[in-house]
Structure 1
Amino acid sequence: MKSSVAIIILVLSIFSCKSPEARKPILKKSGSFLKESADRNIELNQAEGERILEILSILPDSSYQSSESGFWYRYINKVEQDTIQPEFGDLVEYNMSIRNLDSSLIYSEKEMGSRRYVMDKEELFTGLREGLKLMKPEETVIFYFPSQKAYGYYGDERRIGTNQPIICEVTLNSIFKNETD
């Protein structure tokens, strides 16, 4: 009887020292959600781009340009002389208004007020950050931003909705060069 108890204790001690086994997941996830989301975003961006191009084609002065970054713009006041453009760390002062693609006013220039922005060092939506780099002091440009380059999925949580393309009229008042670099 003592030997059988000793054998049982020996067997239990051998099996109790076994390292824990990893459990298999109950639910397997695939990358299909991310792929579907990316596909939806591509379709949305193409549809918004087509709508913007349609609007630009019916403008009386349809001399617009497309940027490498995926938005369109046209000059209202273009400075022809060779002057400075903003670079990393420069402080810019600008005024702007925001409209939807139906040209309904979302934010007036008066509501927005004069704004200051340190290039690439502060938060600003992607399209405007890239658009300001194209401008010279005293120029006024109208930008046509698809939602991906504007406020995207979240909007501005006030008046600009989810996935809403916008039109921004921006006047660059001045550039203060960064002298610290």
Structure 2
Amino acid sequence: MKKIIFISLLSLIGCKRNNPVHPPVGGVLNQKDLDVSKNRSKNLNLIEREQIKDWIKGQKTPYFPTQLNYWTTVEGLDHREKRQDETLISYSYDLYDFDQTKIYDKPITRQNAKFGHFDELKAVENALRFMKDDEEITLLVPSSLAYGTYGDENKIDNDIPLIIKLKVL
């Protein structure tokens, strides 16, 4: 019996030595890990921006860059009058991949959302601040402004740029 316990302990200790140590989600990373992550994000963003620019070249609809690093069908969108915090807005949007396949059957809809208290995609919130009532626009969004490195934990995988068809209700 002692031999079995001893062998079991040895195998457990042996397995433990071979496992890499990963910080927990939300854990502290050292500077090297932070630099690697920062460079990965920067390189991914550059690649996605070039891919989106190439995709735009094949489209009939013109798209215009914004200051926040996404494109829209409205020229000068982020130079319009901006809605202030605490302002209420109702809106809906559909999500598509760059093959123009709709990701969810039903649009995502919010009624009387309050600016400054959104829990929304950065590009969506930014575009809504400049949109007019009843206006519809299309956004081309790199993954860093969409669901990033984690995805939405449902149908949208990590590092996926999106096409967002957005409407103010």
CA-CA distance at 1:68 after TM superposition: 0.6
CA-CA distance at 1:61 after TM superposition: 2.4
Root-mean-square deviation (CA), in Å? 2.1
Pair 1:111–1:142, CA change in 2 (3 A): closer
Pair 1:123–1:30, CA change in 2 (3 A): closer
Task: Give TM-score, length-normalised by structure 1.
Answer: 0.69
CA-CA distance at 1:87 after TM superposition: 1.9
Tell me which of 152, 158, 166 is aligned to 1:170: 166
Task: Determine which structure has the larger helix proportion and give its number.
Answer: 2
Please say if residues 92 and 107 of structure 2, whose CA atoms lie closer than 8 Å, have aligned partners that are also in contact.
no
1:118 equivalent in structure 2: 114
**Is 2:34 aligned against 1:34?**
yes
Pair 1:141–1:84, CA change in 2 (3 A): same
Task: Give TM-score, length-normalised by structure 2.
Answer: 0.73
CA-CA distance at 1:31 after TM superposition: 2.1
Gaps of 5+ in 2: 1-28
2:153 equivalent in structure 1: 157
Code of the residue aligned with 2:66 in structure 1: it is S
Gaps of 5+ in 1: 1-28, 174-181
2:125 equivalent in structure 1: 129
What is the alpha-carbon distance in structure 1 between the residues aligned to residue 126 and residue 48 of structure 2? 19
1:67 equivalent in structure 2: 66
Please say if residues 121 and 145 of structure 2, whose CA atoms lie closer than 8 Å, have aligned partners that are also in contact.
yes
**Is 2:49 aligned against 1:53?**
no
Displaced runs of 4+ in structure 1, greater than 3 A? 113-116
